[in-house]
Amino acid sequence: MVLIIGAGIAGLYLGKLLQDHGVDFRIVEARDRIGGRVWTLNQPDGPPIEMGPTWFGPQHTYLKRVVEELDLEYFEQFRDDYYFFQQSSQGKFERYLLPNQAPSFRFANGTQSLVNRLASVIDRDKIHFNQSVKHIEWSDKQVTVLATDTFIAEKVVLTVPPKLWAHHIDFKPVLPNNLIEIARNTQTWMEGSIKMAYVFSKPFWEGKGSTIFTNDGPLIEFYDHSDVNRKHYSLCGFAHPSLHSLSKAERELKGLKQLEEIYGTQANDYVDYHECVWYEEVFTGLNNGFQMP
């Protein structure tokens, strides 16, 4: 039996491949949901809001192959001819012509549809939630994995970020020092990120510039995040990591003031606000209170 640690895209796709080839496996996941850093907020009267990865491009050949294999619907990311850029916190936002770029694509039902489709073809009893792995021990014939429950396997595959298993899992026998050092210094994508999204009843930014860049923030990269049919509208993106020390209400207000500076008072007519501070998200970063047992 193969034990897969992590029910994100990598863990779920590996589970699918093993199941397709008749190999016995289990997936253990520390969270109570699948997806890991894939996290789409689906709303009945709003666009799917991506708190994690948002798009993919022609260069992502392996992902595109999986998308086609699973027959997932996707669409080209909307962008108009202009973008806004602020060179310093003291300067004004200037509008520039957007250079020609390769298209980016988004999942019609959110990135969560990818992990949901992968999970749907895996036998449900193969995925075990709320299993935070604490110890992995090898012997001549088996591997013992201690989480909330104990699992016995022939092989173990780690699909979680290297920094996390290097800090949070006790290995016996111990792994080589150079491997642990490399893993601990490997950046975890999204670990220090903050994503914020504002939902609007009208896309007032169309024709003006749907993309925002600034080095200082509070919003450092923002873009159109409306749904596939452009019936529900949103602006979404990344906030400056320093905002993690503020309250949700304070972040919401700071971002709103920046949007108002760029687009005027129309930005105040938002109908909803969402955010995810990955800095504090359990099982993603090291600054969230999740400590080695």
Q: What's the pTM value of the predicted model, to 2 decimals?
A: 0.92
Token readout for 67 is 């998308």
Q: In the beta sheet, which residues pair with residue 156? A: 3
What pLDDT is attached to residue 156? Answer: 98
Count CB neighbours of 61 within 10 A. Answer: 9
Token readout for 81 is 């001819």
Residue with tokens 């906030």: 239
Taking CA atoms, 77 is separated from 68, 111, 150, 220, in Å, by: 18, 13, 44, 19
pLDDT in tens, the chain (293 residues): 999 999 999 999 999 999 999 999 999 999 999 999 999 999 888 899 999 999 999 999 999 999 999 999 999 999 889 999 998 878 899 999 988 888 999 999 999 999 999 999 999 999 999 999 999 999 988 999 999 999 999 999 999 999 999 999 999 999 999 999 999 999 999 998 999 999 999 999 999 999 999 988 899 999 999 999 999 999 999 999 999 999 999 999 999 999 999 999 999 999 999 999 998 888 887 654 434 33
The whole-angstrom separation of Cα 46 and Cα 69 is: 28
Token readout for 113 is 């549809």
Token readout for 124 is 């449900």
Say if CB 69 and CB 63 are below 8 A apart.
no
279-284: long-range contacts, CB 8 A cutoff, minimum separation 24: 279/191, 279/192, 279/193, 279/194, 279/241, 279/244, 280/244, 282/30, 282/31, 283/30, 283/31, 283/36, 283/132, 283/160, 283/164, 284/36, 284/37, 284/161, 284/164, 284/188, 284/190, 284/191
Say if CB 55 and CB 224 are below 8 A apart.
no
What pLDDT is attached to residue 89? Answer: 77
Say if CB 5 and CB 31 are below 8 A apart.
no
Q: DSSP H helical segments within the chain, as ranges?
A: 9-20, 61-70, 112-120, 162-168, 177-184, 248-263
